[in-house]
Amino acid sequence: MYNKILVTGGSGFIGTNLIVNFIKKGFEVVNIDHNPPKLPEHKVLWKNIDITEFEGFKEAVFSFNPDYIIHLAARTDLDGKTVEDYSPNIVGVENLLRIVNLLPSLKKILFASSKFVTKNGYEIKDQFDYCPHTKYGESKVLTERSVWANKPKCDWCIIRPTSIWGPWFGVPYRNFFDMVMRRMFFHIGRIKCYKTYGYIGNAIFQIEQLLFNDTLDENHKVFYIGDEPAYEINEWADEIAFELGFKIPTMPVWVIRLASKLGDFLGLFGIHFPIQSFRFQNMTNDGTNDLSCTYKIAGEVPYSRLEGTRATIKWIKENQFDR
């Protein structure tokens, strides 16, 4: 019998790519999500379930009786005003933790958290060290604490996706590609900025390796998902532009800083402007994550950044109206 894999949040960006990967490899897959799948052929795998509703969630999980679970379902935007706005990230994982120990054949479960449990530039001391700067990040801290307080009987681990990009992605990471492709991206003086990003093909590889390999050491239960080494953003933007046949211009720092202030002002009136102070700070401050634990288990990733860039440009051109 084929292994059965349950993916919650399988209609999202990472979930869609995971399901494509697992189907190709012959696994039996079910997607629990309150949103329909991105791909029409995945509709037969979809169960329209709200994970904050315990009974319906429990019934859907029990009826499939999975061997493995990848829990991705969450609210992931940054628009929430309170932690309670992110109830799927809190109540949803609490419900799942009540369910999983009742499953007779469950071998392993992966819980998706986020790099936003700490802010950019924060040096993490250990896997229990948190420093969120958004309500979304705070909700993911609660996700992780719930898992630690109610540890499943089977093997488990927590994954923290970094800035994952590639086919089927959306905001905010698609915005970077869109800005470069529309020639709206500028280098900011001579500032170099290093960030941990991850191509989706490599992220799927890492998640699969973590799913099917033991992660029993409780001193190493948290794994960042992403590429190594960190990207220098100007180099990556130049790489994208080169594939499209143009060069990216450089603007003085003071011009971009002034434009960001204008963006802040227009934002007060609900007018969107390509750059605000938040984006300016994000573009000029490093944000790297330690991937050493992940690479010990997953090894070298299968795709180079250039291969991922070319595949992503191709996908955007083929799906230019899919936002």
**pLDDT band of 282, cuts 50, 70, 90:** confident
> According to the model, what pLDDT value does residue 123 have?
86
- Residue 53 predicted with pLDDT over 80: yes
- Residue 1 predicted with pLDDT over 60: no
pTM exceeds 0.85, yes or no: yes
> According to the model, what pLDDT value does residue 320 have?
72
CB 71 within 8 A of CB 110: yes
Tens of pLDDT along 80-95?
Answer: 999 999 999 999 999 9
Helices (H) and strands (E) in the chain, counts: 12, 13
- Residue 255 predicted with pLDDT over 60: yes
Q: Quick one: how far is CA 92 from the chain centroid? A: 17
**pLDDT band of 323, cuts 50, 70, 90:** very low
Around Cβ 70, how many Cβ atoms within 10 Å? 28
The residue written with tokens 């750059």 in the block is: 275
> What are the φ and ψ backbone dihedral angles of 77, each rounded to 5 degrees?
-75, 170
Cα separation, 202 vs 13, in Å, equals 14
- Residue 222 predicted with pLDDT over 50: yes
Average pLDDT of the residues in 282-297: 90
Average pLDDT of the residues in 31-48: 96
Contacts 24+ apart (CB under 8 A), 245-248: 246/183, 248/180, 248/185, 248/186, 248/187
DSSP state of 213: S
Average pLDDT of the residues in 8-18: 97
The bridge status of strand 108-112 relative to strand 155-161 is: parallel
Between the alpha carbon of residue 68 and those of residues 14, 105, 107, 220, the distances in Å are 17, 9, 6, 20
> According to the model, what pLDDT value does residue 112 have?
98
Tens of pLDDT along 311-322?
Answer: 999 999 998 755
- Residue 173 predicted with pLDDT over 70: yes
Cα separation, 216 vs 155, in Å, equals 6
Q: Looking at 67-76, 139-148, 152-161, 260-269, which range is the least confident one? A: 260-269
> According to the model, what pLDDT value does residue 280 have?
79
Cα angle 114, 117, 120; round to 5? 100
Cα separation, 51 vs 318, in Å, equals 33
Around Cβ 183, how many Cβ atoms within 10 Å? 13
Q: Quick one: how far is CA 87 from the chain centroid? A: 18
209: alpha, beta or left? (left if phi > 0; alpha if psi -120 to 50): alpha
> According to the model, what pLDDT value does residue 270 have?
87
Cα separation, 174 vs 207, in Å, equals 21
CA dihedral 293, 295, 299, 301 (to 10 degrees): 150
- Residue 71 predicted with pLDDT over 90: yes
Cα separation, 157 vs 216, in Å, equals 8
Average pLDDT of the residues in 197-221: 97
Domains of the chain: 4-161 (3.40.50.720)
| Enclosing H/E stretch for 199 | strand 197-199
Between the alpha carbon of residue 242 and those of residues 111, 181, 309, the distances in Å are 38, 10, 11
DSSP 114-167: -GGGB-TT----STT--B--SHHHHHHHHHHHHHHHT--SSEEEEEEE-EEEST
The encoded tokens of residue 253 equal: 């720092």
The encoded tokens of residue 16 equal: 């869609």
> According to the model, what pLDDT value does residue 276 have?
85
> According to the model, what pLDDT value does residue 2 have?
65
Cα separation, 106 vs 109, in Å, equals 8
- Residue 116's identity, in one-letter code, is F
- Residue 304 predicted with pLDDT over 60: yes
More confident residue, 287 or 62: 62
Q: What percent of the chain has pLDDT over 70?
A: 98
